[in-house]
Amino acid sequence: MINKLFLPVIIGFAFLTLSNTPGEDHKILKIGKKAPLPDRKMKDVSGKEMSLHDLKKEEGLLVVFSCNTCPFVVGGSDFPGWEKEYNNIYEKCKELNIGMVLINSNEAKRNGDDSMDKMIAHAKKQNYKMPYVVDKDHVLADAFGAKTTPHVFLFDGNMQLVYTGSIDNSWDKKRTSDASYLENTLFEIKGGKKISTATSSPRGCSIKRIKK
């Protein structure tokens, strides 16, 4: 029998690491599908309003659902966090003429850790080179079927999905080799090659949706 003192810790750990959260039945966008709601305007930390269509470049767009506090984003005692790679990823996308945006869909924390003021401060502290926008009422996250922070979606020049999932497999302590899913896909796009891994499991903290 599980000791009641440890039950909250177990529950918290499961909530943090699972890619699918009970009650979130939004289907992840399928490979080959067009980006949903491309003209929906979202407010950036700069104060400007912008849409996916505005952010797209000639060769495509990388969408990363992110936040201010998740250990899988910002790092923690046993994981460095993927946020440290954001600017490097942005530079690779820029070289390939692909746009990049971070989207905060944590509506349930909008009056706290994921408020616009906190987003502005976080973006400044981390020296984000890419836009960081608010997805009000997690409408875009629902349309994408985004599950975690982070959860990445890479679209080609026609805004068709070519890759979705994790940035890499560094979260997996049992891995026998490193797999840089997103970076490999970007190199394959550059070389005009077939995408070798189009999907992987999204890992991180669940997107904090509001109950309706």
Mean pLDDT (the chain) is: 89
DSSP assignment of 107-154: GGGTTTTTSHHHHHHHHHHHT--S-EEE-GGGHHHHHHT--EESEEEE
Q: Is residue 196 over pLDDT 60?
A: yes
| Tens-digit pLDDT profile for residues 1-54 | 444 444 343 334 334 443 334 335 789 999 999 999 999 999 999 999 999 999
Determine contact, residues 153/164, Cβ cutoff 8 Å: yes
Which H or E run includes 164?
A: strand 161-165
When pLDDT is cut at 50, 70 and 90, the band that residue 117 belongs to is very high
Query: Residues near 162 by Cβ (< 8 Å), separated by ≥ 6?
Result: 31, 60, 154, 155, 156, 185, 189, 195, 198
For residue 4 the two structure tokens come to 């009641």
Determine contact, residues 184/196, Cβ cutoff 8 Å: yes
Q: Please give the Cα distance from 24 to 29 (Å, whole number).
A: 14
| Tens-digit pLDDT profile for residues 126-170 | 999 999 999 999 999 999 999 999 999 999 999 999 999 999 999
When pLDDT is cut at 50, 70 and 90, the band that residue 191 belongs to is confident
For residue 7 the two structure tokens come to 């039950």
List of domains in the chain: 27-206 (3.40.30.10)
Determine contact, residues 128/102, Cβ cutoff 8 Å: yes
- At residue 84, the 3 state secondary structure works out as helix
DSSP assignment of 181-204: HHHHHHHHHHTTPPPS--B----S
| Tens-digit pLDDT profile for residues 52-69 | 999 999 999 999 999 999
- The DSSP 8-state label assigned to residue 27 in this structure reads P
